Structure 1
Amino acid sequence: MAKDEKSAEPAPAKGGKKKLIMIAAIALVVLVGGGVGGYLMLKPKKAEAEPAPTPGVVSVLDAITINLADGHYLKLKMTLQATTEAAEAPDGSEALDIAIDEYSGRKMDQLMSNAERERTKKELIAKVVKAYTKDGKKEIMDIYFTTFVIQ
């Protein structure tokens, strides 16, 4: 019976480890692919950006002189870029008032730096755009300095 017992044992399958590795690899690919696909389908969509306003009329404002610190002054002339939502060319008096508030009393060396001048200009644009927004409609979209002289 010793011979029968040996023959009753199943013969080891050839390539058993290879099949197991292939099945594991396929399962891994399916899981990773499904995870990536699910993420791409369910990820939150980016918020739609507010459409850029369409440029309208350009209003050239008179030059103003602003007192800086330590007896210096700034001669500033700017232009307002209106949007097409503006019913008419904007009156620049409010923008000039905001510019005076923004630059009055600043030190000359602060405005001599390009980085600082750009930073203050961005602040000025934000304040002017806010001041000229009526009923959710932006009437001004940008400001251009045509003269910026410090003495």
Structure 2
Amino acid sequence: MPIEQRVISGPKIGAKIGGSSSAAPTPPPEEEKKKRGPSRKVLLVVVGVLVLLLAGAGAYFFLLKGDGAPKVEPPPEPGAVVTVDAVSINLADGHYLRLGMALQLTADSHETPDTARALDLAIALFSGRSITEVSDPATRDQLKADLAHQLAEAYEGEVMDVYLTNYVTQ
């Protein structure tokens, strides 16, 4: 009669209790490379996209953005000069101012403007002032600048300056 021999051993280290006695199979080296491969490719793609974004941002900042200063429109080119008839303006205390002027038009202005608005603005600006006020050179220059600004607005940019051709007080 043949004798059967059985060997009973205790659980192996790393083996499951109550389960199979062998450890989980280790993947072959080829499968391990396949698992790491896509993560490297994804990492390379992400790094490449980041480099492109940084290069684009740098190009925009240095080349396209500019210095940040607002673009200044060139001053208009002077055109014709229109003479306005002199007018007498009442000042304070019974004095008067004889005012004659000429309007410097822009080159874009194609027709001669009506000078009635210019006279109306000048009368409104100068009338009622004292003779010492209109005789002072600094005040006269300021009044002329104010008149030029009002004329540019009233004529919608067709008038770029005003020249005082007659300025007599009494």
Kindly report the root-mean-square deviation, in angstroms, between the aligned alpha carbons of the 2 structures: 1.5
Shift of 1:86: 1.2
Partner of 1:144: 163
Q: CA shift at 1:43, angstroms?
A: 8.3
User: Is structure 2 residue 115 aligned with structure 1 residue 106?
Assistant: no
Gaps of 5+ in 2: 1-61
Which of structures 1 and 2 has the bigger CA Rg?
A: 2
Kept in 2: contact 1:58–1:89 (CA 8 A): no
Conserved? CA contact 1:69–1:105, under 8 Å: yes
Q: Which has the higher helix share?
A: 1
In the alignment, what sits opposite 2:71? 48
Give the residue type in structure 1 aligned to 2:162: I
User: Which TM-score applies when normalising by structure 2?
Assistant: 0.60
Checking the alignment, whether the CA contact within 8 Å between 1:68 and 1:107 is kept in structure 2 is: yes
Give the aligned residue type for 2:141.
Answer: E
Instruction: State the secondary structure of the residue aligned to 2:97.
Output: strand
Report % sequence identity: 43
Tell me the residue number matched to 1:75.
98
CA-to-aligned-CA distance 1:38-85 (integer Å, 9 cap, x gap): xxx688432222211111111011110000000000000000011111
Number of residues paired by the alignment?
A: 107
Q: Which has the higher contact order (CA 8 A, sep 6+)?
A: 1
Q: Secondary structure at the match of 1:45?
A: coil
The alignment partner of 1:70 has SS state of helix
How high is the TM-score relative to the length of structure 1? 0.67
